[in-house]
Amino acid sequence: MRRLLGAAFALMALGAIGFWGLTWPQMLAASDLPPHQGDPAAGAQVFVAGGCASCHAAPGAEGDAKLVMAGGLALKTPFGVFNVPNISSDPQNGIGGWTDAQFVTAMQLGTAPDGRHYYPAFPYTSYARMKVTDVLDLHAYLQTLPASQNVVAGHELGFPFNIRRGLGLWKLLHLGPDPVQPVPEDPVLARGQALVEGAGHCSECHTPRDFMGAIRKDRWLAGGPNPDGEGRIPNITPDPSGLGGWGEGDIAYYLETGFTPEFDSAGGSMAAVIRNTSQLSPEDRAAMEAYLRAVPAVASSK
């Protein structure tokens, strides 16, 4: 009996050690980064492409206040409520004291400077596909924006979702830099892919998720439940149930103006997206259209 208990204890100890090792948060050092000086002007375009203000500005902010990344937006999900953090240049309550390595670690590995795993409500699974130089440019730009001392409340999550350590296993399954959809070698398609799959993180709303909250890549961009609670987010693949009936240039025009070919206008959270994509260059909007036409057509779910 003692031997059985000892063996069971040993197995439990090995399992605990294995879990601790597999879930260890990954972090980057300065030596892991390319020799690149962040360019705030270039970072401003990354900021727009990523729609950072849509989540990180204070709820209801307008005008210049949209550039104060004070946080505070509450994202209600099936897992609980995620309160969007302050990422202003304030060194105490924002990210003003972060190094480049800490910022890239957060954006692409989902790890906080103190070693905690971030929840994937922060779309680092998309940002992992960005070029590191673009992430460094974004960091440089954020440091030019106003500081805010706003203190954001912690997340409101029940068990077991409040156990962050388990996210290490989730990341092993779902976090990586590889593109989702193979596209022909073409600079326009490559740029569109970088915007849609990376900084623009379009899949975060336009792709359904599985029971673990991970993007279903077999239903890539085929639409899904509205994270805001009502209705559905539309299919944006080239299927007839998605954008298959849109003519050449219609997608780029929509990203600029918010008007569909039927002269409906973007509403809800998409209206905020259009405010961002309208600030991109015509070339970038055309590249996003080219990519969306190149991905596999997937029919919308009934």
Instruction: Give the mean pLDDT of 147-152.
Output: 94
pLDDT at residue number 166? 84
Between CA 3 and CA 11, with CA 7 as vertex, the angle to 5 degrees is 170
* The dihedral sign for the CA sequence 207, 211, 214, 218: negative
Q: Are 67 and 61 in contact (CB under 8 A)?
A: no
pLDDT at residue number 19? 47
Q: Is the pLDDT of residue 20 over 70?
A: no
Q: Are 165 and 115 in contact (CB under 8 A)?
A: no
Q: At what angle do helices 100-109 and 132-142 cross, to 10 degrees?
A: 120
Q: Is the pLDDT of residue 9 over 60?
A: no
pLDDT at residue number 76? 86
Please provide the DSSP assignment of 159-185 as one string.
TTTT-GGGHHHHHHHH--SS-SS---S
pLDDT at residue number 11? 53
Instruction: Give the mean pLDDT of 277-282.
Output: 95
Q: Is the pLDDT of residue 23 over 80?
A: no
Which residue matches tokens 């009502």? 230
pLDDT at residue number 236? 95
Between CA 128 and CA 33, with CA 166 as vertex, the angle to 5 degrees is 30
For 231-276, write each residue's pLDDT tens digit: 788 999 999 999 999 999 999 999 999 999 988 888 778 888 999 9
Q: Are 123 and 204 in contact (CB under 8 A)?
A: yes
Question: What does the block give as tokens for 277?
Answer: 């994509």
Q: Is the pLDDT of residue 13 over 80?
A: no
Q: Is the pLDDT of residue 8 over 80?
A: no
pLDDT at residue number 200? 95
- Report which of residues 165 and 11 the model is more confident about: 165
Distances (CA, A) of 205 to 2, 5, 221, 269: 54, 49, 8, 10
Q: At what angle do helices 40-50 and 269-277 cross, to 10 degrees?
A: 150
Task: For residues 189 and 294, give the distance between their C-alpha atoms in angstroms, rounded to a whole number.
Answer: 8
3-state class percentages of the chain: helix first, strand second, coil last, to nearest 5 = 45, 5, 50
pLDDT at residue number 293? 96
Q: Is the pLDDT of residue 230 over 80?
A: no
pLDDT at residue number 180? 94
Instruction: Give the mean pLDDT of 101-128.
Output: 96
Mean model confidence pLDDT for the chain: 89
